[in-house]
Structure 1
Amino acid sequence: MQDVQNTPAGIPLAIDRVGVKDLRFPLLVQDRERGHQHTVSRVDMFVDLPAHFKGTHMSRFVEVLQDFSGILDYPNFKNLLREVRQRLQAHRAHLSFSFPYFLHQNAPVSASASLMDYQCTLHGELDDADQLRMFLQVQVPVMTVCPCSLAIADEGAHSQRAMVTMNCRFAGMLWLEDLIHIGQHAASCQVHSLLKREDEKFVTEKAFATPTFVEDVVRNAAHQLQSHELISWFRVEVESFESIHNHSAYACIEAPGSQTGAGQ
């Protein structure tokens, strides 16, 4: 049969990334407390395409993924990228796993147990020199109380949920739990999945005792990321879903970490 993908392109322009998006695949990820946990990932897989090829072979991405063990660690991740690059005869391969990660959580007063989920993404790029660049992203929901509103109001202040998104390049084993902890403690209060009345009282009073602007939250998180011994670069973004405004408040810091020049 004719290999149409390998015929000359009508417009000979190189393509930076071509491939498949939104595949679903089961994963086994490392859990610091319990060893590992099962989850389901959304997978994106891309390669570069030279100008002289009309197209890539999309089915090969799926074939490579079907042979993957599903155990997400550094050796398996790099080998999967290497296999994508080789099977597609590319110079550079890109791979992303996006998945919910669950932590067991106890309410602050009643100690009621529940599971809290955090959206995570592991992204990697492998070039033809076999150099791997990895980035880990975690989204952590939090609560903020506005310092200005609290200072000027006779009663109360406006409060809202916010999202802390941290994207890091790193060396060694960077635990998801470390990033989640940083996000949780950057704002007025962390968000819980299960609260009794005594817990709600505690959470509300704690949040109002620690009012934070979106600028405070992004600086608090950046300070911790910058001092983390395994992080060589980071970008932290905070979006506050304002409760009394018809818009969100936003702040971002991108900077090198303590391990500048290092990283996988």
Structure 2
Amino acid sequence: MELPDVQSSLPEVRINLTRVGVKNVQKLVEVARPGKRPVIFISNFDVFVDLPGSLKGANLSRNFEVIDDVLQQAIDGEVKVIEELCSAVARKLLDRHEYAERTEVRMQSQFMVRRETPISETSCHEVVNVHASAIAQRNDGSPIIRKSIGAEVTGMTACPCAQNIMKDHALHVLENLGVADDTINAFFEEVPMATHNQRGRGFLCIETDDDQH
């Protein structure tokens, strides 16, 4: 007895879905570097395809090995640029899911950077979150792909508002004490004003077209 393919049947309510897929697929990605040891990224992938209103479900919802196979094929080859890895996966997903007009791949990894502390010059490691993504849109056999690469770091900053308030207060106190302007300026050059620390997150992302055919 042949079981019905429910997911390929016509739904009663036809609604297009922009993202159907899986999240947090963990993979080990090795990025080659000429003349150096490869860089190892422990990466999490989010992979999506769109679902037309003519289908009740995407076959990837019951067939995770399709996504896993596409990821593994790309990773098993020589990876030189991680955003190109994402675009390769996005291309292959269009080939494997003929109903999809759009695919999306997101990759998030952690990268350790060796640094030195600014004052004591002590060697340490800093964690940088690396983000890459690719979006592929079907276009008469030659998909249009937009890819991006970015990094996110966490740092400490000194609050400028509190610092200016303290400086303004100190200025008025010194002026009331009759301190000369040259001495006041020299004081501010030598003595930093008290303030409080703030944790800051900086993120920089560059987006480009994928010109690979």
TM over 0.5: yes
Aligned match of 1:85? 94
Q: Which of 8, 11, 24 pairs up with 1:9? A: 11
Q: Which has the higher contact order (CA 8 A, sep 6+)?
A: 2
CA contact (8 A) 1:122 1:136 kept: yes
Bigger Cα displacement from structure 2, 92-101 vs 144-153 = 144-153
Which residue, 121, 124, 138 being the options, matches 1:128? 138
In structure 1, the residue matched to 2:75 is 69
Match of 1:24 in 2: 26
* SS of structure 2 residue aligned to 1:69: helix
The answer for the alignment partner of 2:154 in structure 1 is: 141
CA distance in 2, matches of 1:63, 1:92: 19
Distance (whole Å) between structure 2 residues aligned to residue 161 and residue 76 of structure 1? 32
Aligned partner of residue 68 in structure 1, secondary structure? helix
Match of 1:162 in 2: 200
Length, aligned pairs only = 173
| TM-superposed deviation, 1:52 | 0.5
TM-score (norm 2): 0.71
Which ranges of 4 or more aligned residues in structure 1 deviate by more than 3 Å? Answer: 29-36, 74-77
Contact 1:27/1:72, CA 8 A, preserved across alignment: no
SS at match of 1:108: coil
SS in 1 for 2:107: strand
Shift of 1:108: 2.5
Q: Deviations over 1:94-125 (max 9, x none)?
A: 00110101111122244322221111210100
Distance 1:156 1:138 in 2: 31
Gap change, CA 1:8 and 1:22, over 3 Å in 2: same
For residues 56 and 160 of structure 2, the distance between their equivalents in structure 1, rounded to whole angstroms, comes to 57
Tell me which residue corresponds to 1:190: none
Bigger CA drift: 107-116 or 158-167?
A: 107-116
Among the aligned pairs, what percent are the same residue? 22
Is contact 1:101-1:120 (8 Å) kept? yes
Say if 1:53 and 1:68 are closer, same or farther in 2 by CA, change over 3 A: same
- Which runs of 5 or more residues in structure 2 are unaligned? 171-192
Larger gyration radius, structure 1 or structure 2 = 2
CA distance in 1, matches of 2:91, 2:160: 50
TM-score scaled by structure 1? 0.58
Instruction: Name structure 1 gaps, 5 residues minimum.
Output: 173-261
